[in-house]
Structure 1
Amino acid sequence: MLQVGQKAPSFSITNQNGSLVSLEDFVSQWLVIYFYPKDDTPGCTTEAKDFTEYSQDFRDLGANILGISPDSEKSHCKFIDKHDLKIQLLSDSQHQVCELYDVWGLKKFMGKEYMGVIRSTFLVNPQQEIIYIWSNVKTKGHALAVLNKLKECK
């Protein structure tokens, strides 16, 4: 399990445009990394739209937002276009980054068990240390809570 104060695990995966994005791209910057299960589902859409709504506030505080799910680059592009999202979405199709961040686990839905993304968010400081972790996130009001925590930590 990752803990507050640990270095954020390093990763390199592609964004919606097929460009490689690495944790090291954000040295000396604040970073919000949020993991979500699936593009264009109700909860994930709410979360992405809320992060988009506050994206300028995050930028004004020197923070970048990365959404990570197992969806493909093509799926991310459709999701971004459909909802006019203003955040980067990264494709973790082999769920390697999800596993590094301990957010890939057993889930239940309608009596069935399956492996999937446990909705979680990590606030990472400019030294690439984890400052705060939200696990089993409820989407309503979450982006604002992350923004408020960022303001508190700065």
Structure 2
Amino acid sequence: MSDRLSPGDTAPDFTLPDDTGAEVTLSELRGRTVIVYFYPAAMTPGCTKQACDFSDSLDSLRSAGYEVLGVSPDAPDKLARFRERDGLGITLLSDPDKQVLRAWGAFGEKKLYGKVVEGVIRSTVVVDEEGTVTLAQYNVKATGHVAKLRRDLGLD
């Protein structure tokens, strides 16, 4: 498993396609604070709940200076269907080879229904305007996570 990121670490840069196929590069978002969250699979109940929660909070997060990027191993066309189906406003990024997931410590061994499996570890990392990690949360719950994150960031 990749090492997890901690506050003070430099966030690994990446370029990934979004749900339209356009490339998004983290370093091009310098000057803004970015919430990067990793989720296992589009259009599953927990991931849908989390994506909808982020989308519902997007206006207030943006007004507080945050941008939101959701990263999963799903292909861009599946992400496009996810966005359309659930009216998502957040940026959805595709990492099918899991290189970014691994570099950010969001892929590895985890427990699923009592068994140890390898997969995406639901995680959220906040990156400041200079590209430094300010908050890193791993094994987060899908339901209630955005509300907790807002409290942790002092937004609520």
Q: CA-to-partner distance for each residue in 1:115-144, whole Å, 9 max, x for gaps?
A: 210000001111111001111011122112
* Number of residue pairs aligned between Structure 1 and Structure 2: 152
Q: CA-to-partner distance for each residue in 1:52-109, whole Å, 9 max, x for gaps?
A: 0100011101110000000000000000111000101000000000011011102343
Summarize the alignment of residues 71-82 of structure 1 with structure 2, pairs less than 5 Å apart: 71-82=74-85
Letter aligned with residue 74 of structure 1: D
1:7 and 2:29 correspond: no
- Greater displacement, 139-148 / 106-115: 106-115
Superposition CA RMSD, Å: 1.4
| Cα distance between partner residues in 1 of 2:58 and 2:64 | 10
| Cα distance between partner residues in 2 of 1:138 and 1:149 | 15
The correspondence for 2:65, drawn from 62, 67, 92, is 62
How high is the TM-score relative to the length of structure 1? Answer: 0.93
Letter aligned with residue 63 of structure 2: D
The Cα shift of 1:110 comes to 4.5
Q: CA-to-partner distance for each residue in 1:24-59, whole Å, 9 max, x for gaps?
A: 121010000000000011110110000001000111
The correspondence for 1:115, drawn from 115, 118, 124, is 118
Letter aligned with residue 88 of structure 1: T
How high is the TM-score relative to the length of structure 2? Answer: 0.92
Q: What percentage of aligned pairs have identical amino acids?
A: 36
Look up the match of 2:31. Answer: 28
| Cα distance between partner residues in 2 of 1:129 and 1:144 | 23
In the TM superposition, structure 1's runs of 4+ consecutive aligned residues that sit over 6 Å from their partners are: none
Q: Which runs of 5+ in 2 are unaligned?
A: none
- Residue 54 of structure 1 aligns to a residue whose secondary structure is helix
| Cα distance between partner residues in 1 of 2:113 and 2:135 | 31
| Cα distance between partner residues in 2 of 1:110 and 1:88 | 30
Asked if the contact 1:123–1:150 (Cα under 8 Å) also holds between the matched residues in 2, the reply is no
1:49 and 2:52 correspond: yes
